[in-house]
Amino acid sequence: MAYLFTSESVSEGHPDKVADQISDALIDHFLAFDKESKVACETLVTTGQVVLAGEVKSHTYLDVQKIARDTINNIGYTKGEYMFDGNSCGVFSAIHEQSDDINRGVDRASKEEQGAGDQGMMFGYATNETENFMPLALDLSHRILKELSELRRENKDITYLRPDSKSQVTIEYSDDNIPQRIDAIVVSTQHDDFADDDTMLAKIRKDIVDILIPRVVAKLPEQIQALFNEDIKYHINPTGKFVIGGPHGDTGLTGRKIIVDTYGGKGAHGGGAFSGKDPSKVDRSAAYATRHIAKNLVAAGVADEILVQVSYAIGVVEPMGIFINTYGTCPFNMTDGEIAEKVSEIFDMRPFAIEERLKLRNPIYSETAAYGHMGRTNEVVTKTFSQPTGESVTLDVELFTWEKLDYVDKIKEAFNL
Question: Is 152 annotated among the ligand-binding residues?
Answer: no
**CA-CA-CA-CA torsion sign (364, 368, 373, 375):** negative
Question: Is 241 annotated among the ligand-binding residues?
Answer: yes
Question: Is 233 annotated among the ligand-binding residues?
Answer: no
Secondary structure of residue 173 in the 3-state scheme: strand
Question: Is 16 annotated among the ligand-binding residues?
Answer: yes
Instruction: Find the Cα–Cα–Cα–Cα dihedral 274, 62, 32, 269, rounded to 10°.
Output: 0
Q: How far is CA 415 from CA 67, 289, 300, in A?
A: 47, 20, 9
How many angstroms separate the first and last alpha carbons of the chain?
Answer: 33
CA distance 304 to 248: 44
CA distance 201 to 178: 35
CA distance 336 to 383: 42
Question: Is 277 annotated among the ligand-binding residues?
Answer: yes
Question: Is 14 annotated among the ligand-binding residues?
Answer: yes
Question: Is 256 annotated among the ligand-binding residues?
Answer: yes
Q: CA 193 from chain center: how many Å?
A: 31
Question: Is 131 annotated among the ligand-binding residues?
Answer: no
Question: Is 12 annotated among the ligand-binding residues?
Answer: no
CA distance 384 to 210: 39
- Nearest residue to 126 (alpha-carbon basis) of 331, 375, 313, 382: 375
Question: Is 222 annotated among the ligand-binding residues?
Answer: no
- Tell me if 274 sits within 8 A of 284, measured CB to CB: yes
CA distance 169 to 174: 16
Long-range contacts made by residues 383-390, C-beta under 8 angstroms, separation at least 24?
383/28, 383/32, 385/28, 385/29, 385/32, 385/33, 387/33, 387/60, 387/61, 387/62, 387/63, 388/61, 388/62, 388/63, 388/66, 389/61
Question: Is 42 annotated among the ligand-binding residues?
Answer: yes
**Kind plus residue range of the DSSP H or E element containing 182:** strand 179-191
Question: Is 273 annotated among the ligand-binding residues?
Answer: yes
CA distance 192 to 76: 13
Question: Is 70 annotated among the ligand-binding residues?
Answer: no
From the annotation, which residues make up the binding site for L-methionine? 55, 98, 250, 281
From the annotation, which residues make up the binding site for Mg(2+)? 16
From the annotation, which residues make up the binding site for K(+)? 42
From the annotation, which residues make up the binding site? 14, 16, 42, 55, 98, 164-166, 241-242, 250, 256-257, 273, 277, 281
From the annotation, which residues make up the binding site for ATP? 14, 164-166, 241-242, 250, 256-257, 273, 277
